[in-house]
Amino acid sequence: MRVIFNPADHTYTIGDRRLISVTTLLKKHGLTPDYSAVSDEVLKRAADRGVAIHEEIEDYIKGGEGGFTSEFYDFLRICNELRFEPLESEVILPDGDLTEEEADALLYAGTADIIGKIGDESVLVDVKSTAKVDRRSYAWQLSLYERASGRKFDRLYIFHLGARSEAIPIERIPAENIDRLLECERKGEIYSEPGLIIPSELLARAQEAENELIRAEQAKKKAESVAKEYRAKLYEIMDKQMIKSFETTDKRMLITCVSPSTKQTIDTTRLKAEQPDIAEKYTKTTTTAGYVKVTVREG
């Protein structure tokens, strides 16, 4: 018994039973971005563009045909940079024959965009052309695909194709979270993300450290304000006497008088608006480490 996909209405069935798709499952449980504020026209235009890009990539993987969109050529560039070899495209998951018991237990199905490898490592890829990156939603989608495939991939990637095309490595959702989502679906309940659990001692020390930092920053601002006044007076005296530098007798402080000057900068906002192709050509993408942002409120 196999999962059958009907492209006409985008439904999955096994035997005479209809399965929920991964995208529908995630939307139902609030695990996808909310596009309710975006007009239907814009959504349709983006969806049509996404379909065209996916079809180009599928034709290339299955038949070696080249595409014409800029996103297709970005896809080829990413494959080259990662040394990624695409092996399969538009793979219905679960794939292969299922036993009657496996079929009865099956709850959902989906279509993986690409399965391939980097060296000896297996890789699962989903292609996105959305304006914004939603890593959490992507993690859920790829993790559910991986679960449906019945195997564990060495790497999960999103190939985000658009203004800044890039390959985004994705961390999988913990197995217990997936189990809980599927259990909620079986029971007809809506899944909610687990709350953050932080040891109370860690939270108290973090808050104390943040408060200490605020006091230090306030003291720094006050000291900088006073120092700024004295520097202005020193500049006035040194400029009037045409003295470029002065060192105190104990040599602990060197004062240098810097004359007024001009500098040139590039108006990147205007450049992107008036010359987007040039701005894109010279735009450099870097990866920054993750971090937490702490806001301490008064009262």
Q: Report the 3 state secondary structure along 189-234.
A: CCCCCCCCCCCHHHHHHHHHHHHHHHHHHHHHHHHHHHHHHHHHHH
Predicted pLDDT at 299: 60
145 C-beta neighbours (distance < 10 Å), count: 24
User: Each residue of 22-63: pLDDT tens digit?
Assistant: 999 999 999 988 777 778 888 888 888 888 999 999 999 998
pLDDT tops 80 at residue 240: yes
Total-model pTM? 0.68
Q: How high is the mean pLDDT of the chain?
A: 90
Q: Dihedral of CA 267/42/137/196: which sign? A: positive
pLDDT tens column, 166-202:
999 999 999 999 999 999 999 999 998 877 677 888 8
Kindly report, residue by residue over 88-141, the tens digit of the pLDDT. Answer: 999 999 998 999 999 999 999 999 999 999 999 999 999 998 888 889 999 999
Percentage above 90 pLDDT, the chain: 65
- For 148, the 3-state DSSP assignment is helix
**Domains in the chain, start-ordered, CATH in brackets?**
3-187 (3.90.320), 200-281 (no CATH)
**Can you read off the two tokens belonging to residue 54?**
């996916």
Report the alpha-carbon distance of residue 113 to residue 124 in Å, rounded: 8
Helical pair 135-149 and 175-187, crossing angle rounded to 10 deg: 80
Contact 171, 164 (CB under 8 A): no
Is the pLDDT at 222 greater than 70? The verdict is yes
User: CB–CB of 59/69 below 8 Å?
Assistant: no
pLDDT in tens, 272-284: 889 888 888 888 7
In this prediction, residue 253 has a pLDDT band, given cuts at 50, 70 and 90, of very high
Mean pLDDT of 6-35: 91
